[in-house]
Chains A and B, each alone.
Chain A
Amino acid sequence: MRLKFTRFQGLVHLAAFAPLAVLIIQAIADRLTANPIQAITQRTGQAAVIGLLLTLACTPINTITGWRAVLTVRRALGLWAGFYALLHFLTFAMLDYGLDLRQIGRAILEKPFILVGLITLLVLIPLAITSTRAAMRKMGARWKKLHRLSYLAAVLAVIHYLLAAKADFAAQPLIYGSILGLLMVLRIKPVRQWFIRRRASAATAED
Chain B
Amino acid sequence: MNKIPSSEITPESVYMSRRSFLKRAGLLAAAAAALAACKPQGAVLPPADAIPPSASGQTDELGDALTDYQDVTTYNNFYEFSLDKEAVARLSEGWITSPWSVTVGGLVNRPKTYDVDDLRRLYDEEERIYRMRCVEGWSMVIPWLGFPLSKLLKDVEPTGQARYVRFESVYDPAGLPGQRDPWFNWPYVEGLRLDEAMHDLTILSTGLYGKTLLPQNGAPLRLVVPWKYGFKSIKSIVKIELVEEMPSSLWMDAAPSEYGFYANVNPDVAHPRWSQATERRIGDLGRRDTLLFNGYEEAVASLYSGMDLRQNY
List the one stretch of B24-32, B45-53, B148-156, B191-199 in contact with chain A.
B24-32
Once bound together, how far apart are the Cα atoms of A168 and B254, in whole Å?
10
B283 at the interface (CB under 8 A from A): yes
Contact A163 B75, beta carbon cutoff 8 Å: no
Complex interface: chain B residues within 8 A of A168 (CB): 79, 83, 181, 183-184, 254
Once bound together, how far apart are the Cα atoms of A103 and B270, in whole Å?
13
Complex interface: chain A residues within 8 A of B283 (CB): 34
A206 at the interface (CB under 8 A from B): no
B103 at the interface (CB under 8 A from A): no
A25 at the interface (CB under 8 A from B): yes
Contact B83 A169, beta carbon cutoff 8 Å: yes
Contact with B along A126-149 (1 / 0, CB 8 A): 000000000000000000000000
Contact A35 B282, beta carbon cutoff 8 Å: yes
- Asked whether A34 and B273 contact (CB < 8 A) given A24-B31, A96-B287, the answer is no
List the one stretch of B15-23, B54-62, B120-128, B291-299 in contact with chain A.
B15-23
B255 at the interface (CB under 8 A from A): yes
A98 at the interface (CB under 8 A from B): yes
Contact A33 B85, beta carbon cutoff 8 Å: yes
Contact B280 A37, beta carbon cutoff 8 Å: yes
Main secondary structure of the interface of B (DSSP, over half): loop
- Which one of A24, A28, A94, A163 lies within 8 Å of B39 (CB-CB)? A28
Q: A89 CB to closest chain B CB, in angstroms?
A: 13
- A169 and chain B: residue at smallest CB distance: B83
Segment 91-134 of B: residues with Cβ below 8 Å from A: none
Q: A8 CB to closest chain B CB, in angstroms?
A: 28
Contact with A along B132-158 (1 / 0, CB 8 A): 000010100000000000000000000
A3 at the interface (CB under 8 A from B): no
Complex interface: chain A residues within 8 A of B19 (CB): 30
Contact with B along A27-41 (1 / 0, CB 8 A): 111100111111000
Once bound together, how far apart are the Cα atoms of A38 and B184, in whole Å?
25
Contact A35 B83, beta carbon cutoff 8 Å: no
Number of interface residues of B (CB under 8 A): 46
- Which one of A27, A35, A100, A112 lies within 8 Å of B28 (CB-CB)? A27
Contact B280 A28, beta carbon cutoff 8 Å: no
Once bound together, how far apart are the Cα atoms of A95 and B285, in whole Å?
7
Q: A146 CB to closest chain B CB, in angstroms?
A: 31
Number of interface residues of A (CB under 8 A): 32
Q: A140 CB to closest chain B CB, in angstroms?
A: 39
Complex interface: chain B residues within 8 A of A111 (CB): 270, 272-275
Segment 248-274 of B: residues with Cβ below 8 Å from A: 254-255, 270, 272-274
B74 at the interface (CB under 8 A from A): yes
- Which one of A29, A98, A164, A169 lies within 8 Å of B286 (CB-CB)? A98
Once bound together, how far apart are the Cα atoms of A13 and B31, in whole Å?
19
- Which one of B85, B181, B273 lies within 8 Å of A164 (CB-CB)? B273
Q: B126 CB to closest chain A CB, in angstroms?
A: 27
- Asked whether A30 and B18 contact (CB < 8 A) given A97-B287, A110-B277, the answer is yes
Segment 155-205 of A: residues with Cβ below 8 Å from B: 163-164, 166-169
Complex interface: chain B residues within 8 A of A113 (CB): 273
B174 at the interface (CB under 8 A from A): no
B212 at the interface (CB under 8 A from A): no
Complex interface: chain B residues within 8 A of A166 (CB): 83, 136, 273
Complex interface: chain B residues within 8 A of A164 (CB): 273
Contact B22 A27, beta carbon cutoff 8 Å: yes
Q: A59 CB to closest chain B CB, in angstroms?
A: 34
Q: A100 CB to closest chain B CB, in angstroms?
A: 7
A107 at the interface (CB under 8 A from B): yes
A106 at the interface (CB under 8 A from B): yes
Q: B38 CB to closest chain A CB, in angstroms?
A: 7
Closest CB pairs A-B (n = 4): A34-B75, A34-B71, A30-B17, A98-B286
Write the residues of chain B forming the contact surface with A, with a CB cutoff of 8 angstroms: 13-14, 17-19, 21-22, 25, 27-28, 31-32, 35-36, 38-40, 68, 70-71, 74-75, 79, 83, 85-86, 136, 138, 181, 183-184, 254-255, 270, 272-275, 277-278, 280, 282-283, 285-287
In the complex, 18 of the A-B residue pairs with CB atoms within 8 angstroms, ordered by the A residue number, are A30-B13, A30-B17, A34-B85, A34-B283, A37-B280, A38-B280, A94-B27, A95-B285, A98-B286, A106-B277, A107-B278, A111-B270, A111-B272, A111-B273, A166-B136, A166-B273, A168-B254, A169-B83
Known: A24-B28, A90-B27. 8 other contacts (CB 8 A): A27-B32, A37-B285, A94-B27, A95-B285, A96-B286, A107-B275, A111-B273, A168-B254
